[in-house]
Structure 1
Amino acid sequence: MTSGPPIAKFASLIGEPARALMLAALMDDRSRTAGELARVSGVTPQTASAHLAKLTQAGLVAVQSQGRHRYHRLANVEVALALEALMTIASTPVAKQQLGPADAELRHARSCYDHMAGEVAVRFATMAIERGWIDDAREDWTLTPDGAVAFETLGVPLPDASKRRPAVRPCMDWSERRPHIAGQLGANVLRACIENGWVRMRPHSRILTVTREGYRVLAPAATKPSPLPREARY
């Protein structure tokens, strides 16, 4: 596409089904080869390479070479935020892995680029607001002094004021239709959860497995807790 507003170019790139599936697969903030993305999107490796070349040229995907392999990832957090916003608008997710029996697990706990999404993440955000750790009085959330103490106590690094990325912001969850925590704080929470063994990332999936200790920390007092998936009950 050579004419029209820039948004039309990006909409055309993202709107192609195979490319949409590839981008959704990269939403777990991990890199994948063209062959892996070909299997995700159901196209041949040659077709996948052609799609990835277009996404890379447009600045939506970045490539890193290591030995004989080329690894693809989302170019930056802005691309991830745009994709998450589109998933929110859509009534269902776009990735094939999110259909069928796995759908309940993705809705329960998953990665959203570099932060946590799903029911558990929304419950944690709700708890943080109810306890006064986060002030949600305005569109842009604010980390309160009590919240700074609470997150440091949990071992979650506080946002760095020198960085351009927002310290904390709400991210509308496409499955819960309520916000979870994004921004620097959201990324720090997910990193701390992984390091402390509160959640485990599944290979080649956005699904997060929440451990017993993770439930104690992340969702001990939800306003209206939903039943946990059978495999997560204890």
Structure 2
Amino acid sequence: MKEGPSIASVAALIGDPARANMLAALMSGRALTAGELAREAGIAAPTASGHLARLREAGLVLVEAQGRHRYVRLAGPEVAAVLEGLMGLSARDGRLRTRPGPRDPALRTARVCYDHLAGEWGVRLYDALLADGRLDAAGGSPVLTTRGRAFFAAEGIDLAAAASSRRPLCRACLDWSERRPHLAGALGRAILDHAIARHWLRRVPESRALAVTPPGLSAFRAWTAAADPANADTLRSEAG
């Protein structure tokens, strides 16, 4: 008998189309009801309940009861990392869903990846932080430098609170649409929370997409232009 974790059983759970659709919906970082997840999967509510029971038993989702509703969310960032990795692998091999229409370009531009910024904007920011030394990935995993700490502290991000998390402060997450890393970890979450609180980013209803507001465009242009002067013109044209 082989020893070690049972990859096949977890892969089989994720690989079912209905369960995969429900898990993908939870990548928004929000808790959803069983009914909402049933609609996302295109299945009846009793069938969805059965799928959710299996996902819960496997430790992939958590279910919390509030009043008459049960709210479901991913069990943690490690589950989200696996799902984003599978999305990236599928995109690399050309295994993409039929484009859903106007929302698809928005998802590629900026979206929530569980609790951090992903898409073209997320990759640009990660590249800029590396390019001017606010992050250092020479050892493989990104590390926040002294310059980076000073920068984010000046921007009003509470690094002490982020560092107190049991999660890594910085982690590279492969972006499924850009096929390059964006920033995850406790700092990635803090940046997204900060951007939403400042109204730089706005959640698009019933989607993982994020809309970049005019103040957000100015802020992110300032965050990235120093590392890539040509980026300022690109972002200015997008604002128009």
TM-score by length of 1: 0.90
- 1:95 Cα shift? 7.3
Paired residues of 2:13 and 2:55 also in contact (CA < 8 A): yes
The letter for the 1-side match of 2:146 is: P
The CA RMSD over aligned residues, in Å, is: 2.3
**What per-residue deviation string (whole Å, max 9, x for no partner) do you get for residues 132-168 of structure 1?**
1111212111101111010111122215444331111
Kindly provide the CA deviation profile for residues 177-220 of structure 1, in whole angstroms up to 9, marking residues without a partner as x: 11111111000000000111110112221000111121222244
**C-alpha separation in 2, matches of 1:5 and 1:212:** 48
- The residue that corresponds to 2:43 in the other structure is 43
Q: Structure 1 residues 71 and 30 mapped into 2: Cα distance closer, same or farther (>3 Å)?
A: same
**1:94 Cα deviation from its structure 2 partner:** 6.8
Q: Residue 24 of structure 1 aligns with which residue?
A: 24
Aligned-residue offset at 1:31: 0.8
Query: TM (normalized to structure 2)?
Result: 0.87
Equivalent residues of 1:127, 1:219 under 8 A apart: no
1:165 paired residue number: 167
1:194 is matched with which residue? 196
Which position in structure 1 is the counterpart of 2:212?
210
CA distance in 1, matches of 2:220, 2:153: 14
Task: Please state whether the residue corresponding to 1:71 is helix, strand or coil.
Answer: strand
- Whole-angstrom distance in 2 between the partners of 1:33 and 1:198: 28
Corresponding letter in the other structure for 2:239: R
Contact 1:31/1:71, CA 8 A, preserved across alignment: yes
Q: Normalized per residue, which structure has more helix? A: 2
> How many residues are aligned here?
228
Rounded to whole Å, the distance in 2 between the matches of 1:90 and 1:56 is: 24
Give the Cα–Cα distance (whole angstroms) in 1 for the partners of residues 38 and 192 of structure 2: 28
Question: Aligned residues: percent identity?
Answer: 50
- Unaligned 5+ segments in structure 1 are none
Q: Does 1:233 align with 2:239?
A: yes
Equivalence for 2:140:
139
1:1-234 equivalences under 5 Å are: 6-91=6-91, 99-158=100-159, 160-220=162-222, 221=225, 223=228, 225=231, 233-234=239-240
Give the counterpart letter for 2:143 in structure 1: T
